[in-house]
Amino acid sequence: MAASRRPTLADVAREVGVSAKTVSRVLNEDGPASARTREQVLAAVAKLGFQPNLMARNIRVGGPDATIGLVIPDVANPFFGAVARAIEDTVRERGLTLLMGSSADDPARERALTDQFLARRVSILMVVPSVGADHTHLKSHREAGLPVIFLDRPGVGLSTDRVVSSNRVGAHDGVAHLIAHGHRRIGFLGDLPLKLYTRRERLAGYRSALDEATIPYDRSLVANAHDQQSAEAATAQLLDLADPPTALFAGNNIMALGIVAELARTKRKDVAVVAFDDIALAEALEPALTVVAQNAQELGEAAATIALTRLDGTRTRARTITIPTRLIARGSGEQPAPGTNA
């Protein structure tokens, strides 16, 4: 019944009648050990259910802990979940484990998480920076050799490696696809906050596509939302304008859900849609959803790979890796633009 203490090296040593160091040697395959000793030690380890205390080991060895600290906005978001999985798979063979937290895009929570991870002496720190967060405090750690990687968005106050999607080009291509099918009034439904890097980049891509086609930028066609529900409402508002858009561009996967749900609810199939970021069942919708797909897996992989390179001592200057997006035309972008020239 007593919650007995976990066995230690010393306990094992005592059981065998040998010194702690000898047990350590056997377990770490350090130095030599007679076959007999080895067997006895292993037996005692099994008998006592001994598991070395990794924290104690790390303390003594002095090196960083074999963990990678990862801060993302939300594990429940399939995009970031996929990124996390790719990172995990890439670092696993190096023996690194994931220490993870959701910031909910709150700079305070992000900071609490990074501080926590630093205090745990992670080997690598990867962050999807929140709007309003400052990363100057990470500078000294980076200089001391800690690989710090910004994911999906650039950080503030620290020049370090970052891996982002080709947001601007991707958005441009998606909007250009709509324009190519005759649309001139194209709504943009973006993320919040307005200062969010990805939102700004994608809006910039949207604008550049309009510019190319000499379509004037109309602020009333730009709406914002922060979750699926508000995206649905924003969609309804856009379509209620006196001179409504004939096509919509979704700034991310959540916005896409909102647009699609709202159009389905009101049974409107006449609105063309292109979404940034692929979503499940896009091909089963009617019409099937055309998207500018991000490559979550490659994004995670690239981040993990460059982090491992840094861990191995590469000291070249900060790199920015851009993961290409891909336009997948499935139909929704080709809804005819009514009255284009009627």
State the minimum distance, in angstroms, from the CB of residue 44 to DNA.
Answer: 12
The CA radius of gyration of the chain, in Å to the nearest whole number, is: 26
Size of interface with a second copy, in residues (CB under 8 A): 59
In 10 A of CB 287, how many CB atoms? 14
Q: Is 330 in the site for a second copy (CB under 8 A)?
A: no
Q: Which residues are paired to 164 by β-bridges?
A: 322
Q: Which H or E run contains 207? A: helix 197-212
Cα maximum dimension of the chain: 95
Which one of residues 18, 189, 289, 293 is an interface residue with DNA (CB under 7 A)?
Answer: 18
**Residue of 21, 47, 137, 268 that binds a second copy (CB under 8 A):** 137
Cα three-residue angle 86-92-93, rounded to 5 degrees: 125
Whole-angstrom Cα distance, residue 98 to residue 125? 10
Region from 23-31, 32-40, 48-56, 126-134 binding a second copy, contact rule CB under 8 A:
48-56
For residues 11 and 57, give the distance between their C-alpha atoms in angstroms, rounded to a whole number: 16
Return d(Cα 313, Cα 241) in angstroms, integer: 57
Contact, 291 vs 282, CB < 8 A? yes
Q: Which is nearer to a second copy, 219 or 315 (CB)?
A: 315
141 binds DNA (CB under 7 A): no
Q: Which region among 95-103, 155-163, 167-175, 333-341 touches a second copy (by CB under 8 A)?
A: 95-103
| 224 CA to centre of own chain | 21
- Rule CB under 8 A: say whether 213 interacts with a second copy: no
**Residue 301 near residue 161, CB atoms below 8 Å:** no
Among positions 1, 2, 3, 5, the unique one binding DNA when judged by CB under 7 A: 5
Are the C-beta atoms of 133 and 122 separated by less than 8 Å? no
Candidate segments 17-25, 147-155, 189-197, 297-305, binder of DNA by CB under 7 A: 17-25
Taking the C-alpha atoms of residue 133 and residue 110, their distance in angstroms, rounded to an integer, is: 8
Hey, is 291 helix, strand or coil?
A: strand
What are phi and psi for residue 291, nearest 5 degrees? -135, 160
Structure tokens at 30: 């350090």
Q: Answer yes or no whether residue 304 interacts with a second copy by CB under 8 A.
A: no
CA 324 to chain centre: 15
Nearest CB to DNA, comparing residues 118 and 321:
118
Please return the burial class of 57, using the count of CB atoms within 10 Å of its CB with bins 0-12, 13-18 and 19+: middle
Nearest distance from C-beta of residue 71 to DNA, angstroms: 22
Tell me, by CB under 7 A, how many residues bind DNA.
32
**How far is 173 from 247, CA to CA, in rounded Å?**
14
**Cα 26 to Cα 44: distance, rounded to the nearest angstrom:** 12
Comparison of 155 and 205: residue with beta carbon closer to a second copy: 155
Under the criterion CB under 8 A, does residue 99 sit at the interface with a second copy? yes
Q: Is 123 in the site for DNA (CB under 7 A)?
A: no
Contact between 65 and a second copy (CB under 8 A)? yes
From residue 110 to residue 129, the character string flagging contacts with a second copy as x (rule: CB under 8 A) and all else as - is ---x-xx-xxxx--------
Shortest Å distance, C-beta 33 to DNA: 4
Nearer to DNA, 30 or 227 (CB): 30
Q: Is residue 10 involved in binding a second copy (CB under 8 A)?
A: no
Among 39, 43, 47, 59, interactor with DNA by CB under 7 A: 59
Interface residues with DNA (CB under 7 A) are: 5-6, 8-10, 17-22, 24-25, 27-28, 30-34, 36-38, 50, 52-53, 56-57, 59-62
Interface residues with a second copy (CB under 8 A) are: 3-6, 49, 51-56, 58-59, 65, 67, 74-78, 81-82, 84-85, 88-89, 97-102, 113, 115-116, 118-121, 137, 140, 143-145, 257, 260-261, 263-265, 279-281, 283-286, 288, 296
